[in-house]
Copies of this chain bind each other. A is one copy, B any other.
Amino acid sequence: MLTKIARACYDVNMDENNITEQPRRRSDGEQTHQTILDRAVKLASIEGVNQITLGRLAQATGVSKSGVYAHFKSKERLQMEIIEAAGEIYEREVIEPGLQAPEGLPRLIKLYESFLSYVEREIFPGGCFFAGLISEFDAQSGPVHEAVIAGHREWEGLVVSLIQDAQQRGEIDSGVEPAFLVFQLDAVKDHANFLYTLYRDPAWIERGRQAISRIVTQVSAT
């Protein structure tokens, strides 16, 4: 799902390349590719996608600079793949666990709990990758900006649908405007990520949990 943030980004520059004939990969190459990407994603979450450099990435992985370059035929492609790889991790660590809870309000709650847990476990060493990515590109036009917006809309759409689900089940007051509730919940989750990343103190995650459950209590149907 959130991988679309990268796919959309990718498509922008790869429009008329419909053929998409992949040159088949060799196993050792695939291995190295993933190693580089892993390191790149971690680095990018700390320093930002724009700070990632072919040279430093080569030095960090022990691969030669041209070796790194050969895997991603341009820096733009590298950035895309970093974002895509991060999207897959987000999918696996936040979305999927969230959707495993029973439908309705529990699923909504679990989704936000999954996010807080994912921050607390420091899946990315620099805090939530996408929080950083959006902050980095929110004011810069270009394919990444567009992709970031698409990704955010997708998340918002997901949460809204969960809220409507819970409303139809009578678990959330039907007078609540879903978009406003998303705003409140996202504000808390992002702020908890923000403060945890800054101070590395789990107390901030705990505050996030408190604030989330307080909001949920307020909108719960009587």
Contact = CB atoms under 8 A, between A and B. Distances in A.
A135 interface: yes
Contacts of A138: 126-127, 194, 197-198
Contact of A191 (B48, B126, B191, B218): B191
Interface in A170-220: 180, 183-184, 186-188, 190-192, 194-195, 197-199, 204, 207, 210-211, 218
A125 interface: yes
A112 to B, nearest CB: 13
Contacts of A51: 50
A53 interface: no
Chain A interface, DSSP helix/strand/loop, else mixed: helix
Contact of A140 (B47, B139, B190, B204): B47
A183 B191 contact: yes
A136 interface: yes
Contacts of A134: 194, 198
Interface in A102-132: 125-127, 131-132
In this complex, the member of A46, A47, A191 whose beta carbon has the largest number of chain B beta carbons within 10 angstroms is A191
A199 B145 CA distance: 10
Contact of A135 (B131, B186, B207, B218): B131
18 contacts: A47-B139, A48-B50, A50-B51, A125-B139, A126-B138, A131-B135, A132-B135, A138-B197, A152-B198, A180-B207, A180-B210, A180-B211, A183-B195, A183-B207, A187-B187, A187-B191, A187-B211, A191-B191
